[in-house]
Structure 1
């Protein structure tokens, strides 16, 4: 039966979420009053603030009405993961927006940037509260290290997509391979997150954790090839133009290269940790159980 829980709004985490909803609303409202800018970076920043505002508001409503107790997944795991994702997204928007869209006399843009930084601090505070509260550690997939790395892989892929333009890889099979790597790995990372969060992995006729290890190895190798091929073919004979503004296509190539390197590192660490969990920790637990 659905009721009302005032503690969802009055406890420290609830107050932080209310502040986050207000501040993210302020950010996208300030930017909206300035006007639309035809740029994927502008769209990413607006999406970030709207996304964070919407889901923070949904979380507040579901906890206030106690509907969250009826949901078929680990609620604390979901809210903790969302806070981590929102802090990452707000951090990226807080860096991207002032770099590309503010100036010394752009008061509303400066205000939106400052508020966005405060949003990042608020969400980081929520992460600290949800991860360090005395009720115990979260045991869900999204709050575990493999789940966090899967979210990071998807997040960095989104930043890559934000910087990609069709003209960058059209006519080049090598660069098209890199784009295919970014897309395929992103899709499978999202699938793994959804299957693990929805507790659907038990329906597989084979061990899902070993399947994830195989995927992680393939993804890490594919990203390594993209990390080498993308800068090799995108910058070959392509020097930075003498007149290159803040939204220069050449700078976007650099962003894609940098994010591909970071994601390669994340996939490599994810692969190593997955192998360690399955073949070392699991075998140790099995031996201890037999004894």
Structure 2
């Protein structure tokens, strides 16, 4: 048949991408792991990202190579695109955070070269995952069963991607462990990320066909709850990070890690500000998502 050679070519390209992804993530993880003890929270978080991406890619590679996909209970196309996008953003955040919070403090020599090589492999992995995501998007865009070609699918993907970037910054526990209100903000990010992952999983395994009218209402409730939780985080995080009355630092110059005498790096105050900005961005995405589901549930039916 005419479509068979094209499908075989697409499968070859996907296998080629994944082999390179496996090599890049494994190389990044191995290089950092071999540096030994003394690694901070960012290093451990980066290693977790590379290890997690390696495992997911390996499982996906085995499933596709063995042609087990028809027997799986979820939509393989949506899962492949989701995992590629999440892996791309995760590797990008790991590359940036590891480079600006760890490599800068290493003296010139073997250890710094090794850490730089790990960051390079992480960047390569990010590019490979992004290329796979773009390839899959073009391949499946015209299909109505492709979840992330829909508006609510894009919203869920954006919410998850921004949350992953937030996690890369709050892996530095010194940003929040001193205040219960800030720990609540971290709990908010985790809860909303988990709820979003459950919603996407239900969609990928096509459970909405069994839940019928309940599934849209579940998504609306999940989105409304996320909006309320993120709104509390948007208030509490800047209040306790930048207001002097609550133990915060209102000015960047008051943070010793932002001194010009230190090596160029993203200081603690800048990390706090970045999390605040990302919180506001994700709240706006959740609000737009909520408006969509309110229209879908109450106005369309």
Q: 1:7 to 1:230 in 2, by over 3 A?
A: same
1:236 lines up with 2:243 in the alignment: yes
Aligned to 2:4: none
Q: Secondary structure at the match of 1:133?
A: helix
Aligned to 2:281: 262
How far off its partner does 1:247 sit?
A: 8.4
Aligned to 2:159: 153
Aligned to 1:210: 217
Aligned to 1:125: 131
Contact 2:49 2:91 in 1 (8 A): yes
Aligned to 2:199: 192
Q: How many residues align?
A: 276
Aligned to 2:176: 168
How far off its partner does 1:231 sit?
A: 0.8
Unaligned runs of 5+ in 2: 1-6
Quote the Cα distance in structure 2 between the aligned partners of 1:243 and 1:252.
11
After TM superposition, the structure 1 stretch with the greater mean CA deviation from structure 2, 115-124 or 155-164, is: 155-164
Unaligned runs of 5+ in 1: 1-5, 284-291
Aligned to 2:115: 109
Q: 1:113 to 1:160 in 2, by over 3 A?
A: same
Contact 1:45 1:93 in 2 (8 A): yes
How far off its partner does 1:161 sit?
A: 4.7
How far off its partner does 1:99 sit?
A: 0.8
Q: 1:259 to 1:62 in 2, by over 3 A?
A: same
Contact 1:26 1:115 in 2 (8 A): yes
Contact 2:100 2:266 in 1 (8 A): no
Q: Secondary structure at the match of 1:34?
A: coil
Contact 1:20 1:122 in 2 (8 A): yes
Contact 1:8 1:60 in 2 (8 A): no
Q: 1:183 to 1:56 in 2, by over 3 A?
A: closer
Quote the Cα distance in structure 1 between the aligned partners of 2:179 and 2:134.
47
Aligned to 2:13: 12
TM-score, normalising length: structure 2: 0.78
1:98 lines up with 2:99 in the alignment: yes
How far off its partner does 1:248 sit?
A: 6.2
After TM superposition, the structure 1 stretch with the greater mean CA deviation from structure 2, 135-144 or 112-121, is: 135-144
Contact 1:9 1:64 in 2 (8 A): no
Quote the Cα distance in structure 2 between the aligned partners of 1:180 and 1:230.
12
1:221 lines up with 2:221 in the alignment: no
Contact 1:78 1:142 in 2 (8 A): no
Contact 2:230 2:279 in 1 (8 A): yes
Deviations 1:109-156 (A, max 9, x none): 111111211111111111111111278436243564423432443444
